Structure 1
Amino acid sequence: MTKKVLPIIAVSFGVIFLIQAGNLSLASADVKTDIAKPKSTTSDTQISAEEGNIESESVCLTGAVAETLMNERSALNSRQIEIAKRETALKALETKVQKDVDSLEVTQKTIQNQIDKMEKVAEDDILHLVEMYKTMKPKKAAEIFDSMDPGFAAGFLRQMDSTQAGLIMSEMSARKSYQISLIIANRGADWRQ
């Protein structure tokens, strides 16, 4: 008999437990619906004010923390203003530098054109002198080349055709002809080896 009574008591306690748990869940559901339903005596502004209080209570800061945050925000704003000023100044400086670079490029092109013209004139002058020496009698040209620096004379003779240069060198002193021949022969010697 006790074997039959114990399971019945256990089942009874289980049923009682389930009923009470159901009553508790129903009671908590009623409380939740009461909270969710607005009371007829409160207005919408009171409800939103109460909700605002709930939110403000969750974000409440102490005076020291709020003051620190405000100081940091003020410092960040100052820093942003300073960065904006520097960016503006940097852009103005970049524009000025670009204008200066453009101006320098124009000046460089102008100078290079002048240098090219001067080199052309100088080359034309040398070619003119070469032509003058070619038309001279070899003996007279040899007298002039004998008095020149050997490197300078070698430059002129190199510009002349071989026959004319040979005639002039044959009228020069042997020593000067030898020096000029060495200078002409050594030009480009590194490339030949």
Structure 2
Amino acid sequence: MAYAKDGRAVQSKKTNASLDTVLHQRLERINKNDLLQEGRETEKVLPKSTIHKAKKLVKPFEMRVLPVVVLVGCLLLVIKVPNIYQAVDIILTDTRVVAFAEAQENSVAKPGKTKSVSNKKINKAAVEGDKKTEKPLDPVLFTRSEIELLQELSKRRKELDGRERAIVQREGLLMATESRLEVKINELELIKTDIETLITKYNAQEEEKFKGLVAIYEKMKPKDSARIFDELDIEILLEVFERMKSSKSASILAKMKPARAKEITSRIADSREMPELGLKK
């Protein structure tokens, strides 16, 4: 203990702190003792059945650490199992695909052992393949005959695809050729129309010319006309005679030379066309 200048006793700070700590500890002990004393008194007052039920209710909530860890591990295992299964399934699928490819290579390397497959088996396999498209195929489980059948179907499919492409190309060529032919036909029709128009126009002009010649020779004397007709070209003479009136042509023909008159008569008879019978072709 320290003393001041005036003689009074003064406690240091360390002494005060230690005293406070001691007092605090004593108060805690008193509180704990009081609580224990109250609990014992409560047990004495309450019946034993009530105390036993309270202990039963408290025990289920007293969980240890190890059961909690086990439960969490089980939950994680349940969550991870599907991912593990998917990984294993992918590995097995890759292995089966590799085995199927090796089986195909072996079957191609030995063509002498391939067997011809009938159309019925191919069609049946195709139908079965269509029915089982929903289920994944396991190439490892295929037999050699089934692999050969699949190869045959693949060849048939390639051939059919090639034929289909060839048919499509031919159809395109035919359509292009048909369009070109239609254009040519239209052009020829136009040319034909132009030619017919020109021929009609030419015939009309020729008809007008011959009508003028006929009018001239009909106005002449028969003797003068006969002298000219004896020297005229036979083709022109026939055209003129065919357009002349019968009375005029007869008088002129009588004045012509006999040989010339005979030739004209035979040519006119031969040039007459026979009438059409109206028979259907």
The one-letter amino acid paired with 2:226 is A
Alignment of 1:116-131 (within 5 A): 116-131=200-215
Is 1:147 equivalent to 2:235 in the alignment? no
Given that 1:142 and 1:169 are in contact with CA atoms closer than 8 Å, whether structure 2 keeps it comes out as: yes
Match for residue 86 of structure 1 among 159, 170, 176: 170
Given that 1:146 and 1:173 are in contact with CA atoms closer than 8 Å, whether structure 2 keeps it comes out as: yes
Given that 2:222 and 2:255 are in contact with CA atoms closer than 8 Å, whether structure 1 keeps it comes out as: yes
Residue of structure 2 equivalent to 1:168: 252
Residues 134-176 of structure 1 show CA distances to partners (whole Å, capped at 9, x for unaligned) of 1223222121012135565344233212332233234333443
Q: CA separation in 2, counterparts of 1:136 and 1:53?
A: 107
Shift of 1:128: 1.6
> Are residues 89 and 185 of structure 1, via their aligned partners in 2, closer, same or farther at CA, if it must alter by over 3 Å?
closer
Alignment of 1:171-190 (within 5 A): 171-184=255-268, 188=272
Match for residue 218 of structure 2 among 122, 134, 138: 134
Alignment of 1:34-53 (within 5 A): none
Q: CA separation in 1, counterparts of 2:199 and 2:236?
A: 22
Using CA pairs under 8 Å that are at least 6 residues apart, name the structure with larger relative contact order, 1 or 2: 1
Match for residue 64 of structure 1 among 148, 165, 177: 148
Q: Judging by fraction of residues, say which structure has more helix.
A: 1
Q: CA separation in 1, counterparts of 2:255 and 2:230?
A: 9
* Structure 1 residues not aligned, in runs of 5+: 1-42, 44-48
Q: CA separation in 2, counterparts of 1:185 and 1:116?
A: 26
Corresponding residue pairs, total: 144
**Percent sequence identity over matched residues?**
25
The one-letter amino acid paired with 1:97 is L
Residue of structure 2 equivalent to 1:106: 190
Q: CA separation in 2, counterparts of 1:187 and 1:52?
A: 84
Root-mean-square deviation (CA, aligned residues, Å) is: 3.7
> What SS is found at the alignment partner of 1:142?
helix
Larger Rg: 2
> What SS is found at the alignment partner of 1:71?
helix
* Structure 2 residues not aligned, in runs of 5+: 1-81, 83-88, 90-131, 276-281
Given that 2:210 and 2:239 are in contact with CA atoms closer than 8 Å, whether structure 1 keeps it comes out as: no
> Are residues 74 and 120 of structure 1, via their aligned partners in 2, closer, same or farther at CA, if it must alter by over 3 Å?
same
Given that 1:143 and 1:172 are in contact with CA atoms closer than 8 Å, whether structure 2 keeps it comes out as: yes
Shift of 1:179: 4.2
Q: CA separation in 2, counterparts of 1:52 and 1:116?
A: 75
Relative to the length of structure 2, the TM-score reads 0.42
Relative to the length of structure 1, the TM-score reads 0.57
Which is worse superposed, 128-137 or 177-186? 177-186
Once superposed, which parts of structure 1, at least 4 consecutive aligned residues long, lie more than 6 Å away? 51-55
Q: CA separation in 2, counterparts of 1:53 and 1:185?
A: 91
The one-letter amino acid paired with 1:82 is A
Given that 2:214 and 2:243 are in contact with CA atoms closer than 8 Å, whether structure 1 keeps it comes out as: yes
